[in-house]
Amino acid sequence: MIQIVLVLILAAIIFILFKKFNLVFGEEEGLEVKTPVATKMQAYTKVREERIKRKLELDKALEKVKSLKRQGQREKAEKVLLKLLTLFDKKPEVFYELGLLYLEDKKYKNAISTLNVAVSRDSENGFYHHALGLAYLKSQEYRQAAEHFDQALHFNNTIAYRWADLALSLIGLERFKEAKEAIAKALEIEPHNIRYRAILESVEKKIVKPQEE
């Protein structure tokens, strides 16, 4: 009888200890035991929250840049972008916005070098390729311009101005028949665009027709 009582007391003590320290689950009451999975999840959540925070900061800063450009404060916009490069040096959108600023200010060499970085960071962005193509076009580097316009069209061929700009680069390369085909594509999308029709008429005049025998 005494042995049974002792066994019951011992069992009760063990039960209390298990409940107190959660030994069954490997956790002490009131304390969180960080298993490898829980640790990884917490680390992932923290990194994700930090990325979201930085993305919001970047978006806000880029909106400020656009606002400064609308106000004509282009030097201030450039300073903000150059500062952003030190904080977000791996973000292609910062290089893209700075490249656009240089392109609009006719600083074509700066635009080309900056936009090349944007493209290298995100080679599947059609807008980056098109902007770089424009910089090359303005620099009369028609082959490079055509290559990047082609890339932009690869990602979206329903944008009329991409076909029109490709046509202009092909005219620069004296590939007039291809230029005619490109500007015709632009007119399929925007049939009433006066500028595109003028380009078509211009390129048609440059096409040498074969002489009749």
Domain ranges of the chain: 47-156, 157-208
Percent of the chain's residues with pLDDT above 70: 73
Give the model's confidence band at 52: pLDDT under 50 very low, under 70 low, under 90 confident, else very high: confident
Output the six-digit token pair for 105: 């200010």
Give the model's confidence band at 162: pLDDT under 50 very low, under 70 low, under 90 confident, else very high: very high
The least confident of 42-56, 62-76, 110-124, 150-164 is 42-56
Q: Which residue has the higher pLDDT, 55 or 161?
A: 161
Output the six-digit token pair for 27: 């956790």
Question: What was the pLDDT predicted at 57?
Answer: 84
Q: Give the C-alpha separation, 74 to 184, whole Å.
A: 36
Q: Give the C-alpha separation, 204 to 67, whole Å.
A: 42
At the topology level of CATH, where does 47-156 sit?
Answer: 1.25.40
Whether residue 15 is predicted with pLDDT greater than 90 in this model: the reply is: no
Output the six-digit token pair for 192: 């009433």
Q: Which residue has the higher pLDDT, 211 or 99?
A: 99
Q: Of the candidates 96, 208, 89, which has an alpha carbon nearest to the alpha carbon of residue 152?
A: 96
Whether residue 197 is predicted with pLDDT greater than 50 in this model: the reply is: yes
Residue whose entry in the numeric block shows the structure tokens 């991409």: 162
Q: Give the C-alpha separation, 78 to 82, whole Å.
A: 6
Percent of the chain's residues with pLDDT above 90: 60
Q: Which residue has the higher pLDDT, 30 or 102?
A: 102
Q: Give the C-alpha separation, 45 to 32, whole Å.
A: 17
Question: For the whole model, what pTM was predicted?
Answer: 0.74
Question: What was the pLDDT predicted at 27?
Answer: 46
